């Protein structure tokens, strides 16, 4: 009798496997850390064989904890760190080079050259992305150019490329299946999100042979079965979806104007824009949320570089906090920030400012300002930065956000969510299950394997723990936003010589 759905959460620093029951409750889980290597400043790598062995061993562990058999599992769903690039030998599965992780900046110079030859608009129109080392294209080119014999072997069809989803599926099927899904394909910087094909012109520009690319599939469908070698029997593989898109799905943001924000070390805001790719005028990224039944849902994506890391800065650098949890209590011990603003632009500001020379700034200090005011101002800054991203999304999409679902460590903070709701003038909803990334891939695989009938059934699974509603009027909102934007200006361009 089938009763579980297995989700692989192939994250940046850990591999996890969760077994969910059909109510979306976690019945078993296991996790293993993944080592990162930093061979040069700004370079980030991982060992693909460790990514695979950590993932499969957590699957074995999660099953054995509850003595689950493969017959009891409907399907495996996979969600993964996006953009991370692996090239491997088609026959043996052996990687040519370490996985180049999304955070890796080794191709920054090449990306600047691409901007100089005026490829910005073309790349944005075709892929929805801005030119950045983050995406897979320039990482593939780097491996082909720098690993001896790689390009020749790729031209001969002996090499395959994949993001982590693709690599895990190849391994799990013992080399039989080489695919990816629309959400992961849309992060490569050479997938045309309008005609849904690998873009020949861009492939030529990046000098990437089409032969090495996986076939692009729906994010939820049965791609095949896992080899019986690994888990004691075969299990259908029912989804592959990038982590941020997976949490959008796990948060049941199935319709246009629904959005989620994941507040972890950094923050990622994604808004579903329906079956339409919306081009951003504010430097947001247009991405494929998922493909289901060959229908594509799109999203706008904006990120905030520092989020939980700003709380850690209060704790570890300023030492005005003992633990992150205390920040809520301390912020509410004062009635406002006493006119001070913290702009946590430690590594520049992202959308809609796009200023890599912005630096962290505190303005409005007087003798009356205490540590609690500074803590409160830091918490508020995360809400202001979110509001800026969401306003940009609303302007681009031409409609107002319906509601914001939240997850991630920082979303435990009630003060933040309440102030956020005031600023964005929408409900903020915190679900009971905070493992929405794994849940998204699990639900998608459940849908593909017939465990669930439709999206309506899935919507009922996400139970909300707390709803935050806006409590201030438009006049007050305008007034505080105006002050924030004035404060923000002081941080811009500071690091410029
Ligand atoms: P990641 O997945 O990026 O590692 P998590 O989602 O685990 O991040 O969130 C961890 C972050 O959440 C830490 O930076 C921590 O400081 C912050 N955090 C945890 N609890 C709270 C809280 N109650 N208020 C504010 N921040 C918090």
Separation between Cα atoms, residue 199 and residue 213, nearest integer Å = 11
Using CA atoms, how far apart are residues 167 and 187, in angstroms rounded to an integer? 15
What's the angle, vertex CA 247, arms to CA 177 and CA 267, rounded to 5? 120
Please tell me the predicted confidence (pLDDT) of residue 276: 87
Query: What's the start-to-end Cα distance of the chain, in Å?
Result: 67
* Average pLDDT value for residue range 68-92: 95
Q: Whose CA is nearest to atom 15 of ligand 1?
A: 308
**Which helix or strand (DSSP H or E) is residue 240 part of?**
strand 236-242
Of 400, 338, 395, 325, nearest to 369 by C-alpha is: 338
Whole-number Å distance between alpha carbons of 264 and 409: 5
Element (H, E) at 442: helix 436-448
Are 51 and 35 contacting, i.e. CB atoms less than 8 angstroms apart?
A: no
Q: How far is CA 287 from the centre of its chain?
A: 11
Give the closest residue (by CA) to ligand 1 atom 27.
Answer: 410
In the chain, domain spans? 4-244
Cα 408 to ligand 1 centroid, rounded to whole Å: 7
Which pair of tokens denotes residue 309?
């890391």
Alpha carbons within 13 A on the beta-carbon side of 461: 31
Residue 162 has pLDDT above 70, yes or no: yes
Mean pLDDT, to the nearest integer, of 62-80? Answer: 96
> How do residues 318-332 score in pLDDT, each as one tens digit?
999 999 999 999 999
Give the pLDDT of residue 13: 85
Residue 427: Cβ within 10 Å count: 16
pLDDT, average across residues 198-203:
96
CATH number of 4-244: 3.30.420.40
Gap from CA of 309 to ligand 1 centroid (Å): 8
Tell me how far apart the 2 most distant CA atoms of the chain are, in Å: 70
Judge whether 36 and 46 are in contact, CB under 8 Å. Answer: yes
From the CA of 243, how far away is ligand 1's center (Å)?
17
| Ligand 1: residue whose CA is nearest its atom 1 | 264
CB atoms within 10 A of CB 83: 24
Q: What is the pLDDT averaged over residues 372-391?
A: 97
Task: State the pLDDT confidence band at 132, using cuts at 50, 70 and 90.
Answer: confident
Tell me what percent of the residues of the chain surpass a pLDDT of 90.
83
- The CA 75 to ligand 1 mean position distance, Å, reads 31
Q: What is the DSSP annotation of 15-51?
A: EEEEEEETTS-EEEEEEEE---B-SSTT--EE-HHHH
How far apart are the CA of 413 and the centre of ligand 1, in A? 9
Going by C-alpha positions, the residue among 6, 26, 27 that lies closest to residue 17 is 6
Taking the C-alpha atoms of residue 360 and residue 349, their distance in angstroms, rounded to an integer, is: 9
Residue nearest to atom 9 of ligand 1 (CA): 409
The owner of tokens 């919507």 is 459
Q: Which tens digits make up the pLDDT trace of 215-242?
A: 999 999 999 999 999 999 999 999 999 9
Distance (Å) of CA 357 to CA 42, 114, 475: 17, 21, 32
Q: Would you state the structure tokens that stand for residue 109, as one six-digit string? A: 């110079």
> Contact, 175 vs 93, CB < 8 A?
yes
Ligand 1: atom nearest CA of 307 is: 14
Q: What is the pLDDT of residues 97-128, one digit of tens each?
A: 999 998 888 898 898 888 888 888 999 999 99
Q: What is the mean pLDDT of residues 58-82?
A: 96
Nearest CA to ligand 1 atom 7: 409
Q: pTM for this one?
A: 0.92
Strand 86-89, strand 73-80: pairing: unpaired
Residue whose CB lies within 8 A of the most ligand 1 atoms, among 262, 324, 383, for a mutation test: 324
- Expressed in angstroms and rounded, the spacing between residue 488 Cα and the centre of ligand 1 is 24
Residue 476, token pair as written in the block: 């007050």
What integer best gives the mean pLDDT of the chain?
Answer: 94
pLDDT band (50, 70, 90) for residue 55 = very high
- State pLDDT tens for residues 448-495: 999 999 999 998 888 899 999 999 999 999 999 999 999 999 999 887
- Predicted pLDDT at 82: 93
For residue 44, give every residue at least 6 positions away whose Cβ sits within 8 Å of its Cβ, in sequence order, or none.
Answer: 36, 37, 38, 100, 101, 102, 103, 104
Task: Compute the distance from residue 412 Cα to the ligand 1 centre, in Å.
Answer: 8
Could you write out the DSSP letters of every residue in 134-186? TSHHHHHHHHHHHSTTHHHHHHTT-EEEE-HHHHHHHHHTTT---EEEHHHHT
Q: What is the pLDDT of residues 385-431, one digit of tens each?
A: 999 999 999 999 998 998 999 998 899 999 999 999 999 999 999 99
Q: Which residues line ligand 1 (CB under 6 A)?
A: 264-265, 308-309, 311-312, 324-325, 327-328, 408-410, 412-413
Ligand 1 atom nearest to CA at 309: 14
- Cα–ligand 1 centroid distance for 259 (angstroms): 20
**Ligand 1 center to 417 CA (angstroms):** 14
Query: Best substitution site from 247, 262, 265, 382 to test ligand 1's pocket, by max atoms within 8 Å of Cβ?
Result: 265
How far is 313 from 223, CA to CA, in rounded Å? 44
Assess whether pLDDT exceeds 80 at residue 290.
yes
**From CA 200, how far away is CA 194, in angstroms rounded?**
14
What pLDDT score was predicted for residue 497?
60
**Which is the closest atom of ligand 1 to the Cα of 315?**
16
- DSSP letter at 71 equals G
Among protein residues, the one with the nearest Cα to ligand 1's atom 13 is 308
* pLDDT interval class at 305 (50, 70, 90): confident
Calculate mean pLDDT across residues 342-360. Answer: 87
- Rounded distance between C-alpha atoms, residue 354 and residue 492, angstroms: 10
Which phi and psi angles does 364 have, rounded to 5°? 85, 20
Whole-number Å distance, alpha carbon 439 to ligand 1 midpoint, is 19
């Amino acid at each position: 009798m089938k009763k579980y759905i297995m989700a692989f959460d192939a994250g940046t620093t850990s591999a996890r496997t969760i077994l969910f029951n059909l109510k979306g409750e976690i019945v078993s889980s296991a996790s293993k850390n993944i080592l990162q290597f930093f061979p040069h400043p700004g370079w980030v790598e991982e060992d693909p064989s460790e990514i695979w062995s950590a993932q499969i061993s957590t699957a074995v562990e999660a099953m054995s904890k509850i003595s689950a058999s493969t017959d009891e599992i409907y399907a495996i769903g996979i969600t993964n760190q996006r953009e991370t690039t692996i090239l491997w030998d088609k026959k043996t599965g052996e990687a040519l080079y370490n996985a180049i992780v999304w955070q890796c900046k080794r191709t920054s110079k090449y990306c600047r050259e691409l901007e100089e030859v005026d490829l910005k608009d073309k790349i944005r129109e075709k892929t929805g992305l801005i030119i950045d080392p983050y995406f897979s294209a320039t990482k593939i080119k780097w491996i082909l150019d720098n690993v001896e014999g790689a390009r020749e072997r790729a031209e001969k069809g002996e090499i395959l490329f994949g993001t982590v989803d693709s690599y895990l599926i190849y391994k799990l099927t013992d080399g039989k299946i080489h695919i990816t899904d629309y959400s992961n394909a849309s992060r490569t910087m050479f997938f045309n999100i309008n005609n849904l094909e690998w873009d020949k012109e861009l492939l030529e520009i990046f000098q990437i042979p089409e032969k090495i690319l996986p076939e692009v599939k729906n994010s939820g469908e049965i791609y095949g079965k896992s080899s019986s070698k690994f888990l004691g029997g075969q299990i259908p593989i029912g989804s592959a979806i990038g982590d941020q898109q997976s949490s959008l799905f796990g948060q049941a943001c199935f319709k246009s104007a629904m959005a989620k924000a994941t507040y972890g070390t950094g923050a990622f805001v994604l808004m579903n824009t329906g079956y339409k790719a919306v081009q951003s005028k504010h430097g947001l990224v247009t991405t494929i949320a998922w493909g289901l039944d060959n229908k594509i849902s799109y999203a706008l994506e904006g990120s905030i570089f520092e989020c939980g890391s700003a709380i850690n800065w209060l704790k570890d650098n300023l030492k005005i906090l003992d633990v992150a949890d205390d920040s809520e209590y301390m912020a509410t011990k004062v009635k406002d920030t006493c006119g001070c603003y913290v702009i946590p632009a430690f590594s520049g500001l992202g959308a809609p400012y796009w200023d890599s020379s912005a630096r962290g700034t505190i303005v409005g200090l007087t003798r009356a300002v205490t540590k609690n005011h500074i803590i409160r101002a830091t918490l508020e800054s995360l809400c202001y930065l979110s509001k800026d991203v969401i306003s940009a999304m609303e302007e681009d999409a031409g409609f107002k956000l319906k509601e914001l679902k939240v997850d991630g460590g920082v979303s435990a903070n009630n003060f933040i969510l309440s102030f956020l709701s005031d600023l964005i003038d929408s409900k903020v909803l915190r679900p009971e299950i905070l493992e929405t990334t794994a849940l998204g891939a699990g639900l998608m695989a459940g849908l593909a394997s017939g465990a669930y009938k439709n999206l309506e059934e899935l919507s009922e699974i996400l139970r909300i723990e707390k709803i935050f509603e806006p409590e201030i009027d438009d006049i007050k909102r305008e007034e505080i936003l105006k002050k924030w934007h004035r404060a923000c200006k002081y941080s811009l361009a500071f690091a410029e010589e």
